[in-house]
Every structure is written in structure tokens, then in C-alpha cells.
């Protein structure tokens, strides 16, 4: 059974809602046979072409990654295919336990043996979006649905967990102020949908803005998670997790494509490193009734809680 050396981490939250998820330098072996409760991976699997055969190398790299690490849920971005079966995959074997859902921008692979997955209807999501725009909670022109895959995930076994899972691919083009505003609006939209469903959430993916900018938008009862990027990323983090405090993540690590068994030209064809995390071992099934002051703040519109970009806020950027 293939193993990989993933850093050992500990998590804490500071006042800005930033997870102090840092490498303690010890390291630990993570074997696919010893699974945490739920393991998650962000994987933008797009990248440049290296000529004929690039698509086959990309598929093989994805398949080998899944076989080696066996994540329970993969939040994909820039996945070029409409699924993981059919003639396009006839020479590549994806483990049978995985099921695919989503679109080319953002999609989710999940272990169908472990989870029941509910698909919120496009009509339901569009109706909520239209209502929020009509009430001026979101701006006209905010169109996130084509760039996300949103699903309700419930475990089949014990412990019983149910949460909202969102794969997201942020726009690459535009002024930085526009991209930051897009994330702010996304958080407002997902928080509202999450509250309507009475479920905690995780948003994960390629946000196409830096974690340092994103952290300014996230406060308790939400958390943004940092980790140590690999050297080829130059210290910049644009792939990350944001979620409810009630759905704590830990063991955050970047994974080196080059160390995936049997991958070919991985560092040339994948320009993002997969990001591993796992859901903590204690998780409330639902968001509690908002009777305490902290829980009441979860029901307030996120737009009313976003910090002004003061000097104090800027001084608390993530150190990566």
C-alpha cells in the first residue's frame, strides 16, 4: 500500500477567523488504509499542454493520485471531462468507489460507499440568488452558479455527519478589487443557503485571489485555513478551505504531484498542487439554535460582519 509523508499539524483560530494550522515539523505517515473520518482534497487539475498525449498523462496522474491517497471527497476545478467513465477513460482505471458530479469549472468526486449526496436544484439556487439580488443583499451581475458545484453530503455510517460542500473556481480575469468582491458575495450567498438548510459548510477550491486578501473577509463563526505551500508555488496560496467553525479541519498539507506513483510530467501538466485536509473527529450534526451571542452572529448577514481594511486588519495577514 503506497504511503506519503504529510506534515503533522495542529489547528487553532485567532480573532480574525484564521486557522493557525501550522506544521510542527514532526511529520507523520498517512496510509490510505488508515482513513480519518472524512478526508478532503482540493485539486485544480488544469494546466499547460506538453504536446501530444497531455490529456492521457493528466488522466493517468489523476487516477494514480486517487489510488494512492484514497481521499473521501475531492473538490475539483478545471476538470476537462464530463465524468470518469466512458470511452475517454477506457485505458485509465479510476477506483470504482468514486462518483463524479459537477461541471468543467468546479466539480466533486465522492466515495459513493461512504456518503449520501443530495443535489440542490438549479431552480432552488437561482431562486435564492434572484431573491437576494432583489433585496439588494447581492449586486446585479453576480453570477456564481456556473463556477461552483454545491452538494449536501451525509455520511452513511457512524458518526452521522451532514454538511454543505462547495467546490469553487474563482474568476482569473478582472481587477483585484472585483475578485475580492466576488469572494465576499460568494460568502454571503453560501452563508444564506447554509442557514436556510441549517447545516455547516465547507467552500474549497481555486479562489484566484491570495489567502492574505481572503482572510480579511472571514470572521468567526467562519474559518479560513492556512498551510505551508510547496516551493514551486513561491509562497503564494490561492487554493484553500473556508468553512464553519462547527466543521473543523486539520492535517492541512500540500501534496507534491511529482511524488505520486507512476505520474508522468506531473509538474509540467499540473500547475496547482493538491491540498489535503480532514474533518475533525468531533462534529455537531446541525448548527445549534441561535440562542447564544456567538450563534446569533452566525445568523447576521456576513456583509455586516466583514472588517474594514484598517491598518490593524492588514497587520494580521496570514503568514505562509
Q: What is the pLDDT of residue 281?
A: 56
> Over the chain, what is the mean pLDDT?
82
Quote the strand ranges of the chain, DSSP E: 3-6, 9-10, 18-19, 22-23, 28-31, 38-44, 73-77, 98-102, 106-111, 115-118, 148-155, 162-169, 201-206, 222-225, 239-244, 249-254, 275-279
The CA dihedral of 304, 306, 308, 312, to the nearest 10 degrees, is 130
* pTM of the shown model: 0.81
**In this prediction, what percent of the chain has a pLDDT beyond 90?**
70
* Domain architecture of the chain: domains with CATH: 3-314 (3.60.10.10)
- All cell numbers assigned to 54: 497531455
In 3D space, the residue among 3, 5, 4, 8 whose CA is nearest the CA of residue 227 turns out to be 8
189: enclosing H helix or E strand: helix 176-197
Please write the tens of the pLDDT for every residue from 270-296: 999 999 999 975 554 444 443 333 443
Three cell numbers, residue 245:
467553525
Quick check: 169 and 205 in contact, CB under 8 A? yes
Distance CA 313, CA 298 (A): 21
Across 103-248, the runs of DSSP E, i.e. the strands, are 106-111, 115-118, 148-155, 162-169, 201-206, 222-225, 239-244
Q: How far apart are the first and last CA of the chain?
A: 32
Residue 17 pLDDT: 55
What confidence score (pLDDT) does residue 19 get? 62
pLDDT digits (tens, 9 = 90+) for 217-259: 999 999 999 999 998 878 889 999 999 999 999 999 999 998 8
- The position carrying cell 470518469 is 84
Give the Cα separation of 99 and 112 in Å (integer).
Answer: 6
| Cell numbers describing residue 110 | 465522492
The Cα–Cα gap between 230 and 228 comes to 7
> Could you tell me the pLDDT band of residue 301, with boundaries at 50, 70 and 90?
very low
Amino acid at each position: 500500500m503506497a504511503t506519503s509523508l504529510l506534515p503533522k499539524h495542529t489547528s487553532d483560530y485567532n480573532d480574525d477567523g484564521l486557522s493557525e494550522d501550522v506544521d510542527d515539523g514532526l511529520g507523520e505517515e498517512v496510509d490510505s488504509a488508515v482513513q480519518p473520518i472524512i478526508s478532503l482534497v482540493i485539486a485544480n487539475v488544469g494546466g499547460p499542454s506538453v504536446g501530444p498525449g497531455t490529456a492521457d498523462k493528466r488522466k493517468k496522474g489523476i487516477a494514480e493520485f486517487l489510488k494512492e491517497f484514497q481521499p473521501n471527497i475531492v473538490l475539483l476545478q478545471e476538470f476537462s471531462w464530463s465524468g470518469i467513465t466512458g470511452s475517454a477513460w477506457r485505458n485509465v482505471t479510476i477506483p470504482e468507489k468514486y462518483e463524479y458530479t459537477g461541471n468543467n469549472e468546479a466539480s466533486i468526486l465522492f466515495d459513493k460507499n461512504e456518503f449520501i449526496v443530495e443535489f440542490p436544484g438549479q431552480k432552488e439556487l437561482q431562486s435564492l440568488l434572484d431573491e437576494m439580488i432583489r433585496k439588494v443583499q447581492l449586486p446585479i451581475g453576480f453570477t456564481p452558479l456556473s463556477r461552483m458545484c454545491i452538494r449536501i453530503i451525509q455520511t452513511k455510517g457512524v458518526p452521522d455527519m451532514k454538511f454543505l460542500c462547495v467546490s469553487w473556481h474563482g474568476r482569473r480575469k478582472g481587477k483585484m478589487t472585483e475578485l475580492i468582491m466576488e469572494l465576499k458575495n460568494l460568502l454571503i450567498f453560501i452563508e444564506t443557503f447554509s442557514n436556510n438548510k441549517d447545516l455547516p459548510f465547507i467552500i474549497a477550491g481555486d479562489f484566484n485571489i491570495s489567502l492574505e486578501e481572503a482572510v480579511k473577509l472571514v470572521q468567526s463563526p467562519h474559518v479560513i485555513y492556512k498551510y505551508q505551500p510547496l516551493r514551486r508555488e513561491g509562497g503564494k496560496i490561492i487554493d484553500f478551505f473556508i468553512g464553519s467553525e462547527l466543521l473543523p479541519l486539520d492535517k492541512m498539507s500540500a501534496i507534491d504531484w511529482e511524488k505520486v506513483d507512476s505520474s508522468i510530467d506531473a509538474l509540467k501538466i499540473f500547475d496547482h498542487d493538491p491540498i489535503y485536509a480532514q474533518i475533525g473527529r468531533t462534529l455537531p450534526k446541525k448548527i445549534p439554535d441561535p440562542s447564544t451571542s456567538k450563534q446569533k452572529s452566525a445568523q447576521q448577514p456576513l456583509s455586516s460582519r466583514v472588517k474594514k481594511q484598517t491598518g490593524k486588519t492588514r497587520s494580521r495577514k496570514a503568514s505562509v
